[in-house]
Amino acid sequence: MVKLHILGIAGTFMGGVAALAREQGHRVEGSDQNVYPPMSTQLEALGIALASGYDAGHLSADLDQVVVGNALSRGNPAVEHVLDAGLRYTSGAQWLAEQVLPGRRVLAVAGTHGKTTTTSMLAHVLDAAGRDPGFLIGGVPENFGVSARLGSGAEFVVEADEYDTAFFDKRSKFVHYRPQVAVLNNLEYDHADIFPDLAAIERQFHHLVRTIPGSGRIVANGHDANIARVLGMGCWTPVERFGLDPAFEWAARPSRPDGSAFAVLHRGTPVGEVAWSLLGEHNVLNAVASVAAAAAVGVPPAEACAALAGFRSVKRRLELVAEHGDIRVYDDFAHHPTAIRTTVAGLRAATRGRVLVALEPRSNSMRLGAHADELAPSLEGADAVVFLQRPELPWDATRVVAALRGEGVAVGTVEALIDALRARVRPGDSVVFMSNGGFEAAPRRFATALAG
């Protein structure tokens, strides 16, 4: 047993690392700058001591190792203390690779969108098949109630993020995992703070492909030209494509337009039916990917499809947080125009009422304005949009608002955002809050305001 301090412990990945280390019997403490649910709730339940801020004094004197999250950089007081004191340190991805993954059959889910949901689906399918998989997921799946566990089975499912590993290791996190099965869900430009262009991200995905053995399996989105280009750089592993085209090895045939029911086909032959509570074409594709990945380790497709009927989504993935009369309030993690578009489209297909969106551009790419020109088109399906333009946002959101198809307004505070939504909402509406941060608990505050 060792004592660890985890810097950035409230992040979804590092919080999962903390949970795994605690389950292994290690003593765990940590610190972070911004703490909000669902990870803060998980850490509390695990009894892990959590300090707010990166003061060097938060690191105990008897530490064996410091695990450093990728949000921390040189100049951070805790980082400078680790280096000056000569403390033993590693990254979260490297710790996972060395302490948890050896001896396991690793299934990794990579892609710009849908990683968390697809990883959760795959873990759920394996669990329903009696495999008792371990997993580390960048969110909290409702079926499990925790973002990570060791599991007793051979398989370990990991959300494979392309973001860089740490201030001292600029490779993508996923190159550490050495999976036997990899899902390549999709690939678009993102993470403008670390990648200069799409080609740089494709190169990192190529590095991931280089680590997958010839005896393994790659499950790749057959519709994605960027994924095809990555595989064209060199591939030494059998590839199975998935999508909506029945010519692919794995395909979906929707039976309802909102994505709530569909058949799964393997090499053109129906192998299972799914009827579930999730919405949207993107989730249909996530499901087919999870069925294909589970089949690669021996789970019969019909069994996987049956398991998906009982899948409950991930917290903050179009999570219904409140209903007031016939007004429904959702919390969603969407942080990229494509994710925004697919979420709005799924909600639009499932409701007869209006769709109102409250949007906070919080991801690094969003704050830098890398996706500003794509935002208005991505919100085409919304009837009204309230845009949170905090004073520190370095670009003018009014040009996005002006380009919206529906009604739009930009406000400077969450309080003003809630007031603007209250002035616009009417019976039958669905209101979805979109941010990859805490959003100052705006969805629940809005629901409380409705009830009051």
User: Does 229 reside within a domain?
Assistant: yes
Which band of pLDDT confidence, cut at 50, 70 and 90, is reported for residue 36? low
**Residues 173, 37 share a domain:** no
Contacts of 225 (CB under 8 A, 6+ apart): none
Q: How confident is the model over 25-48, as a mean pLDDT? A: 84
Identify whether the C-beta of residue 181 lies closer than 8 Å to the C-beta of residue 78: no
User: Within this chain, do residues 177 and 296 fall inside the same structural domain, yes or no?
Assistant: yes
Q: Residue 278: what pLDDT?
A: 85
Domain count across the chain: 3
How much is the average pLDDT of 32-44? 78
Same domain as 190, residue 43: no
Cβ 424 vs Cβ 302: under 8 Å: no
CA dihedral 242, 246, 247, 249 (to 10 degrees): 40
Same domain flag for 148 and 297: yes
Residue 324 lies in a domain: yes
In terms of domains, do 130 and 188 share one?
yes
Q: Quick one: pLDDT at residue 319?
A: 83
CATH of the domain at 261: 3.40.1190.10
Phi, psi of 258, rounded to the nearest 5 degrees = -85, 0
Could you tell me the strand order of the sheet in which 319-324 lies? 319-324, 327-332, 430-434, 355-359, 384-388, 407-411
- Measuring CA to CA, which residue among 149, 221, 155 is closest to residue 188? 221
How confident is the model over 89-134, as pLDDT tens digits? 999 999 999 999 999 999 999 998 889 999 999 999 999 999 999 9
In tens, the pLDDT along 310-361 reads 998 776 777 888 888 889 998 987 767 877 887 888 788 777 789 999 988 8
User: Is residue 313, in this structure, part of any structural domain at all?
Assistant: no
CATH code for the domain in which residue 395 is found: 3.90.190.20
Query: Percent of the chain, pLDDT > 90?
Result: 62
Q: Which residues constitute the domain of residue 418?
A: 319-451
CATH of the domain at 51: 3.40.50.720
Q: How far apart are CA 393 and CA 197, in angstroms?
A: 22
Q: Please indicate, yes or no, whether residues 332 and 251 belong to a single structural domain of this protein.
A: no
Give the pLDDT mean for 7-33: 94
pLDDT of 390 reads 86
CA distances from 289 to 187, 223, 272, 296 (A): 15, 13, 14, 11
111 is in an annotated binding site: yes
pTM of the shown model: 0.79
Of the two residues 106 and 393, the one the predictor is more confident about is 106
Judge whether 235 lies within some domain.
Answer: yes
Query: Does 116 count as an annotated binding residue?
Result: yes
pLDDT at site 11: 87
Cβ neighbourhood burial of 50 (10 Å; 0-12, 13-18, 19+) = buried
The whole-chain average pLDDT of the chain stands at 90
- What confidence category does residue 362 fall into, taking pLDDT thresholds of 50, 70 and 90? confident
Any binding-site annotation on 408? no
Residue 365 falls inside a structural domain: yes
Same domain, residue pair 296 and 328: no
pLDDT at 284: 93
Tell me which residue has tokens 């892609």: 111
Domain annotation covers residue 314: no
Q: Which residue has the tokens 């993690």?
A: 333
| Same domain as 431, residue 331 | yes
Could you tell me the pLDDT band of residue 368, with boundaries at 50, 70 and 90?
low
Nearest to 382 by CA among 346, 436, 422, 336: 346
User: Cα–Cα distance between 39 and 387 in angstroms, integer?
Assistant: 26
pLDDT at 402: 83
For residue 117, say whether it is annotated as part of any ligand binding site.
yes
In a domain, 398, yes or no: yes
Tokens of 206: 């190529």
For residues 159 and 255, state if they share a domain.
yes
114 marked among binding-site residues: yes
Domain boundary among 92, 111, 137: 92
Q: Give yes or no: residues 131 and 229 share one domain.
A: yes
In a domain, 327, yes or no: yes
For the cut 90, the answer to whether the pLDDT of residue 19 exceeds it is yes
Does residue 8 register a pLDDT over 90? yes
Least confident of 143-152, 209-218, 305-314, 321-330: 321-330
Same domain, yes or no: 212 and 347: no
Residues 107 and 79 in one domain: no
| More confident position, 398 or 219 | 219
pLDDT at residue 226, rounded to an integer? 96
**444 vs 178: which has the higher pLDDT:** 178
pLDDT of residue 178: 97
The pair of three-digit structure tokens given for residue 223, joined into one six-digit string: 């519709």
Angle 312-298-126 from CA coordinates, rounded to 5°: 25
Higher pLDDT, 38 or 337: 337
Last residue of some domain: 92, 125, 156? 92
What average pLDDT score do residues 219-245 get? 97
Return the top range by mean pLDDT from 40-44, 299-303, 411-415.
Answer: 299-303
Residue that terminates a domain, selected from 67, 92, 117: 92
